[in-house]
Amino acid sequence: MSTILKDIEQQQSHINAWFEHLHSHPELAMQEAGTAEYIATVLRGLGEFEVVTGVGKHGIVASLKVGDGDKSIALRADFDALPIQESNNLHYCSKTPGLSHLCGHDGHTAMLLGAAKHLAETKNFNGTLRLFFQPAEETMQGAPAMIADGLFERFPVDNVFAMHNMPGLELGKLYFTEGDTMAAVDSWEVVLTGKGGHGAFPELAVDPVVAGSSLVMALQSVVARNVAPSHSAVVTVGAFQAGEAGNVIAHTATLRLSIRTTTASDRILVLNNIRRLVHQQAESFGCSAEIREGQPGAVLHNDPEETRKAARIARAALGEDKVSEKGPTYLGSEDFAFMLQQKKGTYCFLGNGDSKFVHHPEYVLNKDILPIGAAYWVALAEGWLR
């Protein structure tokens, strides 16, 4: 076991306490005022960091300069929760009905706080360390909001790094992937407007539920018959909302789409085909359609050189068996992609073992990985800022 990991494990009671508090008090994207206040309070209590809040609404940047080194890096953790009812029986379960940390962002933040505590105490680096605590990853708003608020102009860095726990990967093992690693996601809302009426008199109405049902099926052809089979893409209709009563024909129907692509050309192709189908399907049923396009997506691209260097540092600190440089790729998305468009860096995965997958009501982040994640951050800071 490395010296760093041994030292971090001495602090695990602090890390666990931070994690459990965050888990018990979830807040949705761009509503994380209490979470941000808690994180800032912990950081200020360490006594060494310059802490700036309100970056991109609820974002936090903590900075610590040591020595005369001119290098600077940023380590990023996210802290928003999900609109899902937790189904676990934990003593630190969510105290807010319908909201929960079922993706592990609470754990990511606790890991970075653990690293912050250790680095503030040891100061075993030479340069400028910045910790980015980011809101609203789930809605792809947080990173763009912090960037638009002058993140990299106000807090200059050379490189940026982030990490995500991942069920199904070996517990406590870090996985590094070079190049394109996660998909671009576009979250769209489609509103179909027909003509509401009585369920017994459909001839006097225009039913957007029928139009929407046809559209759901038509959208299944977008990837199957337009994207090359060797490429990866997906179009998911995650929500279809219309009406309240069985004897009423709804006036409008709303579909919420999650569109994921792995190349820029496929993204353009898929989005254009969705636009075409939405309007053609709506018109064929006598409805009108409005498409509300959200934050444009971006593929997460890990710089190969920075990825190899980060993996070498992790291997030296944690051991050969705790690092893989043949990491997976996912159609999941991550708004850290926008930070990687601005600065070189890498995004790795930390195995959560055999657990329910993220976003499942029974997902549980294994607390055994908390010190490992914190130790990786410490090793990366010390290794990069020599």
Q: What angle, 0 to 180 degrees and rounded to 10, lies between the N-to-C axes of helices 33-45 and 12-24?
A: 160
105 is in an annotated binding site: yes
65 bridge partner residues: 128
Residues 6+ apart with CB under 8 A from 224: none
Residues 6+ apart with CB under 8 A from 359: 82, 84, 102, 103
Residues 6+ apart with CB under 8 A from 63: 49, 50, 52, 128, 129, 130, 131, 155
Q: What are phi and psi of 224, to 5 degrees?
A: -60, -30
Residues 6+ apart with CB under 8 A from 121: none
260 bridge partner residues: 185, 234
360 is in an annotated binding site: no
User: What gap in Å lies between CA 83 and CA 212, rounded to an integer?
Assistant: 24
Cβ-in-10-Å burial (0-12, 13-18, 19+) of 7 comes to middle
Q: Strand pairing of 323-324 and 174-175?
A: parallel
138 is in an annotated binding site: yes
| Residue 256, amino acid | R
Measured at the alpha carbon of residue 216, what is the angle toward residues 210 and 217, in degrees to the nearest 5? 95
Q: Which residues are annotated as a binding site?
A: 103, 105, 138, 164, 359
Q: Which residues are annotated as a binding site for Mn(2+)?
A: 103, 105, 138, 164, 359
